[in-house]
Structure 1
Amino acid sequence: MEKITLSEQEIIDAVCLFHAKFKHVNPEDVEVELMYDDASGFTAEAYVNGEMEPYNTVNFITAIRLYIEEQLHRDAMAARIVLDLHDEEGIIANIDW
């Protein structure tokens, strides 16, 4: 079984790419803030032109699957994705096939 870990920056990139695709803007125009709390889990806020859209854990996984497919050129649907809060690295995604 192959395993990879996406860094917090790669997750931010994934959310930027995902958000940009559906808002029809450049990924560079999207700002993303990742967050975690015990009540709501992994969340994010994506900003474009002053407008904020919230992301929940399901949105994270969807954005990461798109990133796996389009940037890593791997089978995103076969990937098992687990988000984790790491003390030093922040929010990371452990992925295995």
Structure 2
Amino acid sequence: MRIYTDEIINAICFNAADRRGIRPNEVEVQMSYDEEYGITAEMWIAGRSQYLIETNLLEAIEQYAFTHYNRRVFRSDISLGIDEEAEQFWAEFPD
């Protein structure tokens, strides 16, 4: 199964909201790619910024797959990538 940028951002928002006891719409996320760090994201909550690395993204996607797709996925089974042609990030995990 493959999810794209919007769902990855949703995964991050739901994960952050759950951890902090806020609503997912109170979280803003912007994803990016850096040659040194790979796929990353910057997250804002109440005006404060936090930089997320791949491990954080995998944790959020793991939880999202479980809560939204009822799939138990392990971080080691999740692949992240970029579709440069479509200008989208993607995450893939087993069906």
TM, length-normalised to structure 2: 0.92
Q: Which has the higher contact order (CA 8 A, sep 6+)?
A: 1
**Cα distance between partner residues in 2 of 1:78 and 1:65:** 6
Is residue 73–residue 93 contact of structure 2 (8 Å, CA) maintained in 1?
A: no
**Cα distance between partner residues in 2 of 1:39 and 1:90:** 19
Match of 1:51 in 2: 48
5+ residue gaps in structure 1?
none
Match of 2:79, as an amino acid?
A: V
Please report the RMSD computed on the Cα atoms of aligned residues, expressed in angstroms: 1.5
Is residue 79–residue 95 contact of structure 1 (8 Å, CA) maintained in 2?
A: no
Number of residue pairs aligned between Structure 1 and Structure 2: 94
**Cα distance between partner residues in 2 of 1:75 and 1:48:** 28
Match of 2:19 in 1: 22
Match of 1:72, as an amino acid?
A: Y
5+ residue gaps in structure 2?
none
TM, length-normalised to structure 1: 0.90
Match of 1:68 in 2: 65
**Cα distance between partner residues in 2 of 1:14 and 1:89:** 19
Match of 1:60, as an amino acid?
A: L
Runs of 4+ in 1 over 4 A off after TM superposition: none
